Every structure is written in C-alpha cells, then in structure tokens.
C-alpha cells in the first residue's frame, strides 16, 4: 500500500505537469496569435551599400524570389526530408527531436546533434542573430511561435528556401539554380536538386564545383533521407546519385567574389550593435551602409589572386583601413570564398611575429630611448629567474656582434635587441601600450611577447597600427557607417570618437624609423627586411614585416592608408622561407594600387623634433662614410659617446 501511494503520487505529479505543459503551450500560441503579424517579406530584404551608396549585396531580390509553386518538388521534398521531416506536423518545435538530440549529446558528452526546425532556422536567417545567449534563444522561440501562428507551412518553407546560403555567395534556391545549373529551380532534376539541398549544411565544404567528392557524400545523405521518408524509390535514388552533373558556375564577370568576406565581416560587426535586433524586429528590413570601396576591394582581390597562384592550401588575409577615420575600405578573408568562407581577418587569431615590435619601440621612445640607443646584437641567453633561461635567436642566426642602434634593430628586425628592450622596460609596458593603442585582446606579459608569440585577430590588431598611422590618435576601425529601415529611419549611425593616446613626436620618430626597413643606406652585416620590394614602392611608408614558423605578416602605412597582409596555413603547418616574398609583394602592390592616383603624403615634422646625419648601425654622429638622416627630440640627439644599455644584460 505504501508503494502504491507513492506511485499514485508520481502519477498525479506527472498528470499535473502534463496539463501545465499543455496549458502553457496554449497560452503561448494564444499570445502569438494576438501579437502583430511579423512582416517576413520586408525583413528578408537586407541590402548592403558601399561607400558611394551603391548596393553590392541583397539577401533577396524580387526578380529572383521563387514562389513555392515555382520551386521543384524535388527541392521541397529533399529539404523537408533532410532538415525537418516533421515540418508539416509540428507547430514550430519538434519536441521528440529535441529530446532525442538532448539524449545523444548527453550520451556523447558533446553537442553533436541539433534539433532546429525549418521555422527556427528561418527566424535566424530573418533576424541575422546567431549569438547563443538565453535572451536571444527565448526571443527566437517567441518569434518562431509567431511565424507558425501567422503563416502557412508553404509560406514558411518558401521564405526559408529563398533566404538560405547555397555557397559561392548565392542566397536563395533560385539564385543557386541559376548559378550552378543555369536553369530555374522549377526545372531541376532530382540529381540536381539533391546536390543543391546538401550545400547549406556547410556551404564551403559541400560546394560541388570545388569539393565534388564531399558534395556527393552529402548528396547521398539527402537521397537516403528522401528514400527513408518515402519521397523516392531506391531506383530513383541510385539513378540520381550516379547521374554525372555538369556545373555552370557562371556569375557576373565584373563581380568581386571577395566582397562576401567583407559582407560577412559586416554581419559580425552587426552583432555587436545591441540596438539593431529589437529595431529590426519592429521595423522590418535593413539597409546597411558600409565603408566598402569597390575599386580597392577589386584591386586587393586581383593582386592576391595573382600572387597566390599555385599555392595549394596556402591562405591569406588582408585589410585596408583609412587611418584618419578608421574606415575599413577593403577586406579579404581568404584565397577563395568558394572554397572557404572562413574569414581569417575577423575569425582567425594568429601569432603576429615581429610586427609587434613597433608597439614595443614606441614604448621605448616614450621611455627615453632614441634612434641611436644601442644594445649589443649577439647570441644571448637571458636569466629569467627561478632557474629559467630564455635564448631567442635572430633570423638565420645572423648577429652584428657589436652595438647596434635602435634604427638598425628596426630595419633588421633584430630579436635580441627587442627582447633586451622589452625586459629593460618591464614586461607589462608592452601589454599596457598595446591596450592603449586599441588592441582588445588581453595579452600575457612574458619575455617572448616582444617577438609576437601572442595570437591576435587581424581586425583587432589593426586598431593599434591605425593609431600609429593616425599620428597617435585612436579611432577604432569599423565597417558599418549607418543602418536604416525600409522607410529610411536611422536605426544606427557610427559615432566617430577620437582620442589622443600617443605622443606625436615619438610617433613621428617611430614612423621615420619604420621607413628604413627598405632603405639601402642600412645595408651592412645584414639587410633591411623589406628591401626586396623597394622597387615596387613609389611613395614613403612606415612598414614592418613579421614571421613565425607558421605565419608571415607585412604591415605598412602612411597618413592616407594602412594595409595589413597575413599568409599561412589553416592547420598551422610550417611555412617555407620563400613564401615571405608573397606576403611582402601583396602588401606593396596593394597599397601602391589603392593610392596610385593619390599624391605622396607623409607626416609633418612636429615642433621640438630635429634631424641629424648619423651612422645607421652605430647610431653615432657621422661626418664621413656611411650616414643617414635620423630624427630626435631636441636635447636627445647623439654625441660621440652614445647611450648604451648593454651593462644590464650579461650572457
């Protein structure tokens, strides 16, 4: 009797919870019913504009929107069978599928199974919100209820098929059909439809033009799902799978495919603008005005294509920023958007190598160093305390074995000089200076930080260099200038903020020193690191290269333009020494091409700064022999007995 009462109690609790669940669902759907009908057609029209106000991308366009009656039944059946087999039964949420996914994920100890319905996925496409906070999840759930309440299944499926990403920058089934097969979606065969339906799972991985083997494996999953749900027979499945497909893959010859990387970066920035999701829900539709310069983007893409030809798996990232405003005018996140949509400007973090040294040397100048300050360039083992040592090496283990000036250390990218400077200043100084210049990544203070062992995203890193290029005035880099709704109401406008964070005289001296990385006057026991591309430069630039075992960088600027370039492998395999010239050439050709119609521009000499002819290697005054012009704050100019700090470091 005791156990029976317990059992009866459990049954009562279960029945109570079941009724609460039912009543809760009724209440939610009733709430969804009385709320205003969301306008899915206008919401789906997301338009991107360049810096001249010309549209360069639309998430949907009326002439390429396919009504449900004009979409191949094969596409519809394949999509439902693969993505949401209970689509026509559930009311927005497939609870059995959710329970199954929860069980599998719990059993495997990871999130390997998803349970989003077509309705939920469509809501995400409409509102461009991909963050995983509970607030957003709850909001998405309510929107899904509203969608299911106010629209028929066919209307939802039509909108979904016209908004999803089919790779190669093609959004919507009609655009995809035209691009891949040069035909309307209504005319697609089972073989063609099943290959297209497989793409959205991973648009880069399953792009049939560039990854046919993987696309065919995905096609088989789609066809098997259709067979399992009774949409096709085994014979139809086998014929479709074995059909040899001919891909059209043709688009506007004037189009710039890399614009998709820029567009994706815009969407990523959009997620940081907290006011947009609610504004978008209320207004419907977005018009996003960006800083994209189509001409600069096309030049960057063409140069990368030419310089990267024949480099299998070797990747690239590049960005061009207007220093005076922080506007990102061009951005390329990879060699080919068709084969990889991963954006290496915004999504990847890589070791920055010696390109971190200008940040270090600005701090040095601010703390009393001059262009003539010397350390000894020689193989050095640093005693770090607690029995630990650190033995960095110069590239090619090439050392001067004598005192060298800061000017030469920058030109040669001497690692020993950099570490000595870093330890002399204190390891936290570089961290604090980088943060002041605009780097958001929290850097770890250690000896190797001076050689760029920290991993930073290019977009974040560009803030620091933009500050140097803007004469010490920080204004965070950005892509979106303004966002409006369909009626022209401004939902967001970039607020330009500038803050002077660096000393103008020290920035000028540093920029002058960085212009010597391709100066023949510095050829001695070694050569400046950018000397090999000096013949490509017609203007004066501050420029620094950097390398690790897995990364190559080239970063340079003048008052008008900042260009950053990275090369490496996604799987972090080692690069070869010959590949560094690719990075340098891409940088030189890109910045020269963007500025080809501009007059030469350089920084005005600030008051209190003077120049002297000195021996570039020793940093001492020179009346004869090798000499070059270096700049100093008045009162710090060199004398015969130039300042040296070597006594602080013992081998």
Average pLDDT of the chain is 87
CATH code where residue 630 lies:
3.40.710.10
Residue in 45, 83, 163, 340 annotated catalytic: 83
- Under DSSP, the state recorded for 633 is E
- Indicate if 151 and 26 belong to the same structural domain: no
Cβ contacts of 126 within 8 Å, gap of 6 or more: 40, 43, 44, 143, 159, 163
Asked which of 70-84, 273-287, 341-355, 583-597 is least confident by mean pLDDT, the reply is 273-287
pLDDT at 470: 98
pLDDT at 230: 95
Residue 267, in any domain of the structure: no
- Indicate if 444 and 373 belong to the same structural domain: yes
Percent of the chain with pLDDT over 70: 82
Q: What average pLDDT does the segment 451-473 reach?
A: 98
pLDDT at 113: 44
- Indicate if 206 and 308 belong to the same structural domain: no
- Residue 354 is among the residues annotated as catalytic for this protein: yes
pLDDT at 21: 46
Residue where one domain finishes, among candidates 220, 255, 290: 255
pLDDT at 646: 41
pLDDT at 282: 46
Residue 42, in any domain of the structure: no
The answer, yes or no, to whether residue 319 has pLDDT greater than 70, is yes
Residue in 72, 354, 405, 515 annotated catalytic: 354
> Which carries the bigger pLDDT value, residue 204 or residue 212?
212
The answer, yes or no, to whether residue 585 has pLDDT greater than 80, is yes
φ and ψ of 280, to 5 deg? -65, -40
> Which carries the bigger pLDDT value, residue 493 or residue 252?
493
- Indicate if 3 and 74 belong to the same structural domain: no
pLDDT at 62: 43
> Which carries the bigger pLDDT value, residue 136 or residue 311?
311
- Beta strand ranges found along 435-577 (DSSP E): 455-456, 473-474, 480-484, 490-493, 499-500, 542-547, 551-557, 562-569
The answer, yes or no, to whether residue 104 has pLDDT greater than 80, is no
The answer, yes or no, to whether residue 106 has pLDDT greater than 70, is no
Each residue of 370-411: pLDDT tens digit? 999 999 999 999 998 888 999 999 999 999 999 999 999 999
Percent of the chain with pLDDT over 90: 67
Residue 440, in any domain of the structure: yes
Q: What average pLDDT does the segment 438-467 reach?
A: 97
- Indicate if 327 and 465 belong to the same structural domain: yes
Asked which of 337-346, 517-526, 589-598 is least confident by mean pLDDT, the reply is 337-346
> How far is CA 334 from each of CA 300, 439, 561, rounded to the nearest angstrom?
11, 22, 21
- Under DSSP, the state recorded for 38 is P
pLDDT band at 283 (very low <50, low <70, confident <90, very high): very low
Q: What average pLDDT does the segment 197-223 reach?
A: 93
pLDDT at 373: 97
CB 515 within 8 A of CB 543: yes
- Indicate if 10 and 149 belong to the same structural domain: no
Maximum average pLDDT range among 46-60, 422-436, 478-492, 632-646: 422-436
pLDDT at 163: 85
Q: How far, in Å, CA of 146 to CA of 317, rounded?
A: 41
Q: What average pLDDT does the segment 573-577 reach?
A: 93
> Which carries the bigger pLDDT value, residue 85 or residue 631?
631
Q: What average pLDDT does the segment 481-494 reach?
A: 91
Residue 264, in any domain of the structure: no
Residue 275, in any domain of the structure: no
Q: How far, in Å, CA of 298 to CA of 228, rounded?
A: 47
CB 344 within 8 A of CB 406: no
Provide the whole-model pTM: 0.80
pLDDT at 52: 96
Q: Kind and range of the H or E element at 402?
A: strand 402-405
Residue 536, in any domain of the structure: yes
CB 140 within 8 A of CB 123: yes
- Indicate if 387 and 453 belong to the same structural domain: yes
- Indicate if 396 and 333 belong to the same structural domain: yes
Residue 277, in any domain of the structure: no
pLDDT at 65: 84
The answer, yes or no, to whether residue 504 has pLDDT greater than 90, is yes
Q: How far, in Å, CA of 642 to CA of 583, rounded?
A: 36
- Residues spanned by the domain of 118: 65-255
Q: What average pLDDT does the segment 17-39 reach?
A: 57
pLDDT at 96: 61
Each residue of 244-263: pLDDT tens digit? 999 987 655 566 889 999 99
pLDDT band at 35 (very low <50, low <70, confident <90, very high): low
Bridge partners, residue 171, by sequence = 165
The answer, yes or no, to whether residue 532 has pLDDT greater than 90, is yes
φ and ψ of 394, to 5 deg? -75, 155
The answer, yes or no, to whether residue 135 has pLDDT greater than 70, is no
* Chain centre to alpha carbon of residue 513: 30
Q: What average pLDDT does the segment 225-250 reach?
A: 94
CATH code where residue 165 lies:
1.10.3810.10
pLDDT at 281: 44
Asked which of 73-87, 247-261, 322-336, 571-585 is least confident by mean pLDDT, the reply is 247-261
pLDDT at 111: 42
β-strand 609-614 against 628-633: which pairing, if any? antiparallel
pLDDT band at 625 (very low <50, low <70, confident <90, very high): confident
In degrees to the nearest 10, what's the CA dihedral of 586, 587, 592, 595?
120
- Indicate if 79 and 24 belong to the same structural domain: no
CB 474 within 8 A of CB 467: yes
Q: What average pLDDT does the segment 55-63 reach?
A: 66
- Indicate if 100 and 200 belong to the same structural domain: yes
Residue 282, in any domain of the structure: no
Q: What is the tally of structural domains in the chain?
A: 3
Q: What average pLDDT does the segment 354-372 reach?
A: 98
- Indicate if 101 and 191 belong to the same structural domain: yes
**Could you identify the residue written with the tokens 């614009």?**
259
- Indicate if 507 and 636 belong to the same structural domain: yes
Structure tokens at 346: 């915004």
CB 466 within 8 A of CB 502: no
């Amino acid at each position: 009797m005791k156990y029976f009462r317990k059992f009866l109690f459990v049954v009562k609790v279960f029945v109570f919870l079941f009724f609460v669940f039912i009543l809760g669902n009724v209440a939610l759907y009733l709430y969804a019913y009385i709320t205003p009908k969301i306008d899915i057609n206008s919401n789906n029209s997301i338009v991107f504009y360049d810096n001249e106000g010309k549209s360069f991308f639309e998430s949907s366009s009326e002439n390429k929107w396919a009504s449900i009656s004009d979409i191949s039944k094969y596409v519809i059946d394949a999509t439902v069978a693969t993505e949401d087999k209970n689509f026509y039964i559930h009311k927005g949420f497939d609870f059995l599928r959710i329970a199954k996914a929860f069980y599998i994920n719990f059993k495997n100890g990871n999130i390997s199974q998803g349970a989003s319905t077509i309705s939920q996925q469509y809501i995400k496409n409409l509102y461009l919100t991909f963050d995983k906070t509970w607030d957003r999840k709850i909001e998405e759930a309510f929107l899904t209820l509203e969608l299911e309440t106010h629209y028929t299944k066919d209307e939802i499926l039509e909108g979904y098929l016209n908004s999803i990403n089919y790779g190669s920058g093609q959004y919507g089934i009609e655009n995809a059909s035209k691009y891949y097969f040069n035909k309307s979606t209504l005319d697609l065969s089972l073989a063609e439809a099943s290959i297209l339906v497989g793409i959205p799972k991973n648009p880069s991985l399953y792009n049939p033009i560039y990854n046919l083997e993987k696309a065919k494996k995905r096609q088989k999953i789609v066809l098997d799902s259709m067979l399992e749900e009774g949409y096709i027979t085994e014979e139809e499945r086998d014929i479709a799978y074995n059909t040899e497909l001919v891909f059209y893959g043709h688009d506007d010859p004037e189009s710039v495919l890399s614009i998709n990387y820029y567009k994706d970066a815009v969407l990523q920035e959009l997620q940081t603008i907290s006011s947009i999701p609610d504004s978008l829900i209320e207004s419907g539709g977005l018009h996003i005005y960006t800083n994209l310069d189509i001409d600069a983007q096309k030049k960057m893409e063409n140069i990368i294509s030419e310089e990267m030809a024949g480099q299998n798996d070797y990747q690239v990232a590049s960005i061009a920023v207007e220093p005076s405003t922080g506007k990102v005018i061009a951005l390329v996140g990879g060699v080919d958007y068709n084969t990889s949509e991963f954006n290496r400007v915004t999504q990847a973090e890589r070791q920055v190598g010696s390109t971190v040294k200008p940040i270090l040397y600005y701090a040095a100048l601010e703390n009393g160093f001059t262009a003539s300050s010397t350390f000894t360039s020689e193989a050095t083992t640093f005693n770090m305390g607690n029995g630990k040592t650190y033995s960095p090496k110069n590239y090619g283990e090439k050392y001067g074995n004598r005192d060298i000036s800061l000017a030469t250390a920058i030109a040669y990218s001497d690692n020993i000089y950099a570490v000595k400077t870093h330890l002399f200043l204190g390891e936290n100084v570089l961290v604090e200076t980088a943060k002041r210049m605009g780097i958001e990544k929290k850097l770890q203070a250690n000896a190797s930080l001076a050689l760029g062992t920290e991993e930073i995203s290019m977009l974040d890193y560009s803030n620091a260099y933009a500050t140097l290029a803007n004469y010490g005035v920080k204004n965070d880099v950005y892509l979106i200038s303004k966002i409006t709704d369909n009626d022209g109401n401004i939902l967001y406008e970039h607020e330009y903020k500038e803050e002077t964070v660096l000393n103008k005289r020290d920035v000028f001296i540093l920029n002058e020193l960085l212009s010597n990385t391709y100066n023949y006057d510095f050829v001695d026991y070694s050569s400046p690191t950018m000397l090999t591309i000096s013949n490509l430069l017609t203007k004066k630039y501050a420029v620094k290269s950097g390398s690790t075992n897995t990364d190559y960088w080239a970063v340079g600027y003048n008052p008008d333009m900042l260009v950053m370039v990275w090369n490496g492998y996604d799987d972090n395999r080692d690069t070869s020494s010959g590949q560094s010239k690719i990075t340098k050439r891409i940088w030189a050709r890109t910045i020269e091409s963007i500025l080809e119609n501009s007059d030469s521009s350089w920084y005005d000499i600030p008051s209190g700064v003077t120049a002297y002819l000195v021996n570039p290697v020793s940093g001492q005054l020179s009346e004869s022999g090798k000499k070059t012009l270096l700049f100093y704050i008045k009162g710090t100019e060199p004398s015969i007995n130039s300042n040296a700090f070597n006594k602080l470091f013992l081998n």
